[in-house]
Structure 1
């Protein structure tokens, strides 16, 4: 186990160095006036930077977040971008009831949706905390709720075509492997040795997000709606110390945090591929793929056709989607 840990740490450090030396920057001049976007978790971190970037191009943006200072953030973005078309709406991704309430609000108040960015996420590598829906919290926030929200808004996205769905993943998705029966794991899962070195449930949730992009991309062919995953690389946000603090036994601990801040990209750099996917004409016909540093990359190896089908079917069950809500 020690040898494997050291090997993975070396790979991780190499990735950090590569990350530091390589940074894509979106140069598209596309204007987004007349477009409407929804960004989950758009009030802080990378979501905030994404909101700023799209708002500065004239996009009408609905920030959905759980933060208490949401309206303060909305006013701040309006002042920074001179764009008054910024709206804040509350959503708690730990609750399917909240997700459904938000989706119903959107369907009743909006007549178009051009861009859906599923950005929000939390990092708890090895904790078995359940939501009110009886699901593991990190998996529900990062994956299940975004899967549900996307389904509930699909008809509006189709009506607004051409439109785009962007799932924000993580390169940690490439360092894990999980079985479908571990999609909503019990406490025993978190005692397994490999959850100490592969990012645990967080990495699993991001691998599921990448698979969701592949699934939606294939199922939405011919509708004018594209779906892709973006893996931003290593970015310096408040997410990192919070994740480490939530999991004091995570093997890299403070060293892991230090390396992130030493070699990671600034948030405005980390969101460039997300921005590229949201507005560039170069990717308007690409769907079902994973992106990093502005280019298509391979999906994580465990994402096979068999895995994707099993994941899709299992997720429909976990999210309790009704037959009439599945439109792809």
Structure 2
């Protein structure tokens, strides 16, 4: 009998021990769900114009959808044909004031062409959301001589924002929003690797660092615009949207030969614990809408709450150096500089 009870005791202990990871994951899921930010603003955007880059899918589409539902004129700027996204937004919101325009961030010429068209046809620009981005597109450089990942995530939006500054000033108070990432905290950004040099073999670790560098550059850019445009009534902030269940991981993994692992990660972990694109768009929408943030600029946000920035983003000399080097690399003209 003693042996029997001893066996039951150890069996019960084993069951409890085995269930702890499961319990932990359940608790993690509840924490993730209940701590997620949610837009509470009821602001109407009738008469306002917003640009959302990368608005065809993911959190960009969800952002464009909500802005349209509030009555804004929404311009979806994407490399892909955004007609399907436009039609879906119109069907859901009954807001027909939706435009689609081609924007290829891997080409500075395309950025300039897009900005010229916007400046020539739009009377105002109230909200500029630099949402488009990639995890990686391989270790290659564009025709502009810039590393592809850095150009899509940083150099393209950096140039675009400069070129639309006059329209933002004309429409003030207006807002600039940069979608960054938690990876900004995992970076090794320097002046030498701002435009990542050619010839380095690609690895998962190096790819993560390049992505992190581009996202840190987003925060630096957001803060730089905040400092330089505050007197004109323009705010500029950055955000981390969260771990989102989108295809970005699978698309990036193909350049590393890790598609199967990425699909497994998405189908199991992200399905269970990642945010939906709708949830991931909440902080972007919060920054675009909230009246409480009308004078808040140069800040970083997670889950609709202000969050500390990476230490590098506090180093003014480092940030100014990155800014000036970015100006050179995108070939800003003297009259385009702030």
* TM-score exceeds 0.5: yes
The structure number with the bigger radius of gyration is 2
Q: Aligned partners of 1:17 and 1:305: how far apart in 2?
A: 39
Aligned with residue 47 of structure 1, among 52, 60, 83: 60
Partner deviation per Cα, 1:65-119 (whole Å, 9 max, x = no partner): 0113x12221221111110100001111100000000000001101110000000
Residue of structure 1 in register with 2:150 after alignment: 139
2:269 is the counterpart of 1:259: yes
Q: Aligned partners of 1:203 and 1:305: how far apart in 2?
A: 19
Q: Aligned partners of 1:15 and 1:192: how far apart in 2?
A: 30
Q: Aligned partners of 1:179 and 1:260: how far apart in 2?
A: 32
Partner deviation per Cα, 1:175-194 (whole Å, 9 max, x = no partner): 22221110111245555885
**Post-superposition shift, 1:174?**
1.2
**Post-superposition shift, 1:21?**
4.8
1:246 match: secondary structure: coil
Moved more, 302-311 or 93-102: 302-311
Moved more, 75-84 or 149-158: 75-84
Q: Aligned partners of 2:148 and 2:311: how far apart in 1?
A: 25
1:73 match: secondary structure: helix
Aligned with residue 100 of structure 1, among 112, 119, 127: 112
Q: Aligned partners of 1:194 and 1:66: how far apart in 2?
A: 28
**Post-superposition shift, 1:262?**
2.4
Provide the TM-score with structure 2 as the length reference.
Answer: 0.86
2:94 is the counterpart of 1:85: no
1:222 match: secondary structure: helix
Higher relative contact order by CA 8 Å / sep ≥ 6: 1 or 2? 1
**Post-superposition shift, 1:172?**
1.2
Q: Aligned partners of 2:188 and 2:173: how far apart in 1?
A: 34
Residue of structure 2 in register with 1:228 after alignment: 237
Provide the TM-score with structure 1 as the length reference.
Answer: 0.89
2:177 match: secondary structure: strand
Partner deviation per Cα, 1:133-160 (whole Å, 9 max, x = no partner): 1111110011100000000000110010
Alpha-carbon spacing, 1:16–1:191, altered in 2? closer, same or farther (3 Å) = farther
Partner deviation per Cα, 1:3-44 (whole Å, 9 max, x = no partner): xxxxxxxxxxx9988545521100100000000001101111
Q: Aligned partners of 2:255 and 2:33: how far apart in 1?
A: 26
Aligned residue runs from structure 1 range 18-167, under 5 A = 19-68=32-81, 70-124=82-136, 127-167=138-178
Q: Aligned partners of 2:316 and 2:212: how far apart in 1?
A: 20
Which structure 1 residue ranges, 5 or more long, are not aligned? Answer: 1-13
User: Does the 8 A contact of 1:42 with 1:65 survive in 2?
Assistant: yes
User: Does the 8 A contact of 1:16 with 1:264 survive in 2?
Assistant: no
User: Does the 8 A contact of 2:239 with 2:284 survive in 1?
Assistant: yes
Aligned residue runs from structure 1 range 295-314, under 5 A = 295-303=305-313, 304-314=315-325
Q: Aligned partners of 1:29 and 1:289: how far apart in 2?
A: 22
Residue of structure 1 in register with 2:22 after alignment: none
Aligned with residue 225 of structure 2, among 195, 216, 219: 216
Partner deviation per Cα, 1:207-245 (whole Å, 9 max, x = no partner): 100111111111112110000001111111121211222
Residue of structure 2 in register with 1:5 after alignment: none
2:77 match: secondary structure: strand
Equivalent residue pairs, number: 310
User: Does the 8 A contact of 1:55 with 1:83 survive in 2?
Assistant: yes
Q: Aligned partners of 1:107 and 1:42: how far apart in 2?
A: 20
Q: Aligned partners of 2:28 and 2:189: how far apart in 1?
A: 22
Aligned with residue 272 of structure 1, among 264, 278, 282: 282
User: Does the 8 A contact of 1:128 with 1:186 survive in 2?
Assistant: no
Q: Aligned partners of 2:48 and 2:205: how far apart in 1?
A: 44
